[in-house]
């Protein structure tokens, strides 16, 4: 009975991911962007964001966690031309946090972002992920959408 109550209280991963996507879309709308949410119809793209000042449309991949943890993402799935928004939802009542990084920057700094996940080719992690520590310097890095 205890386990059942514990599992029911744990938020669904899809709900967590959707929360991150809609929060990111909302932030971009607030900043004057035109945003389209793909709702899973584009496998590697969660959002399209058009910057009306530059006329450029960005592809955006959103990764979301509820707590301070790594963000599961295999390096083979990273696209250089995509912007990655890592969202930490935090507890109810505490403001969410956004960490925004260009895909090419992650690809050029695999060891920094992944740590030991890929360091030893003989022991590659089964669940590699972007570590939260290296993301701190990318907090609220919304200016990448102006490039």
pLDDT digits (tens, 9 = 90+) for 6-63: 555 666 788 889 999 999 999 999 999 999 999 876 678 999 999 999 999 999 999 9
Residue 128 has what pLDDT?
Answer: 80
Considering its fold, how many domains does the chain have in total?
1
Domain that holds residue 120: 2-146
Closest CA to 94 of 130, 71, 68, 131: 68
Confidence of residue 4 (pLDDT cuts 50, 70, 90): very low
CATH number for the domain spanning 103: value is 3.40.1350.10
- List of residues 6+ apart from 147 with CB closer than 8 A: none
């Amino acid at each position: 009975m205890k386990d059942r109550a514990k599992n029911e209280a744990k938020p669904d991963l899809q709900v967590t991911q959707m929360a991150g996507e809609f929060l990111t879309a909302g932030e971009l709308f607030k900043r004057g962007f035109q945003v389209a949410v793909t709702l899973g119809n584009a496998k590697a793209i969660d959002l399209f964001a058009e910057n009306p000042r530059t006329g450029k449309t960005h592809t955006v991949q959103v990764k979301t966690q509820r707590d301070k943890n790594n963000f599961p993402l295999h390096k083979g799935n990273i696209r250089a031309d995509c912007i990655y928004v890592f969202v930490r939802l935090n507890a109810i009542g505490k403001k969410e946090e956004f960490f925004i990084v260009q895909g090419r920057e992650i690809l050029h700094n695999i060891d920094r972002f992944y740590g030991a996940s890929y360091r030893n080719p003989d022991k590659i992690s089964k669940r590699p992920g972007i570590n939260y520590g290296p993301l701190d310097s990318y907090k609220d890095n919304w200016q990448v959408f102006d490039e």
